[in-house]
A = this chain, B = another copy of it.
Amino acid sequence: MYELYYWPTIQGRGEFVRLLLEDAGADYDDVIRRPESEGGGRDALLALLEETGHFAPPILKDGDMVVSQTPLIMDYLGARHGLAPDDAHARREALRLSMLLADFLVEAHDVHHPLAKEFYYEDQRDEALRRAPSFRETRIPKFYGYFEKRIADGGYLVGSSLTHADISLFQVVEGMRYAFPKAMARLEPDTPGVVKLRDEIAARPGIAAYLESDRRIPFNEHGIFRHYPELDG
């Protein structure tokens, strides 16, 4: 049984790990989402950070093994559940793509929080309005165009079989549709490979069941992907 430690009220970075675990049908305990009376809550996270010396969630515990940094968790779990290539170079490529998607996440977050995580959105809304056009018109097309090109080679981000990086791409597409519905409706027709891969992953039995379940926390304005219509152009 895996233990996942991540914020209980948002999808955030933890959602990438949840999706992989659900796809694999793996048994996992979403620890912090348990009530405090049952060993969950913020105290469980603080205790884990103290005990393991890790920096921040998401953190995965697999027996004695503790892994953090989302792409590393995806690589670790991917190797255990047939979602990472066997070949060392291809496996590093999948990890690289996962890291690139994580880089994109930072930009998708900072577009609504350009000044500081500690400030409310309302206190950096003017700055967000100045940042958003560059994100929409330059950064999103740059990343999506790159993913499209990668997928064109073999149907997946890395060659011709599904890896954890594709599952991460699915979550990015979902998040971007939530946060920037207008911008993505304009852009997605230019990236049919990305959309097709997204659809394929949404239809995988474990993912489809999960998306229908109440384990999937809805997108909201506390996570990475936030829908502020004024930033959508």
Contact = CB atoms under 8 A, between A and B. Distances in A.
Interface of A: 53, 55, 65, 67-69, 71-72, 76, 89, 92, 95-96, 99-100, 103, 106, 110, 114-119, 124, 127, 130-131, 134-135, 138, 146, 149-150, 153
Contacts of A127: 114-115, 127, 130
Given A72-B96, A116-B138, 10 more contacts: A53-B149, A53-B153, A55-B146, A69-B100, A72-B99, A110-B110, A116-B131, A116-B134, A116-B135, A119-B134
B89 A65 contact: yes
Contacts of A106: 103, 106
B150 A53 contact: yes
B69 A99 contact: yes
A69 B96 contact: yes
Contacts of A149: 53
Contacts of A138: 116, 118
A134 to B, nearest CB: 4
Nearest to A103: B106
Contacts of A69: 96, 99-100
A55 B145 CA distance: 11
A158 to B, nearest CB: 10
Nearest to A119: B134
Nearest to A95: B72
Nearest to A56: B100
Contacts of A116: 130-131, 134-135, 138
Contacts of A72: 92, 95-96, 99
A188 to B, nearest CB: 20
B114 A134 contact: no
A160 B89 CA distance: 29
A95 B16 CA distance: 19
Contact of A134 (B65, B118, B146, B150): B118
Nearest to A76: B92
B115 A99 contact: no
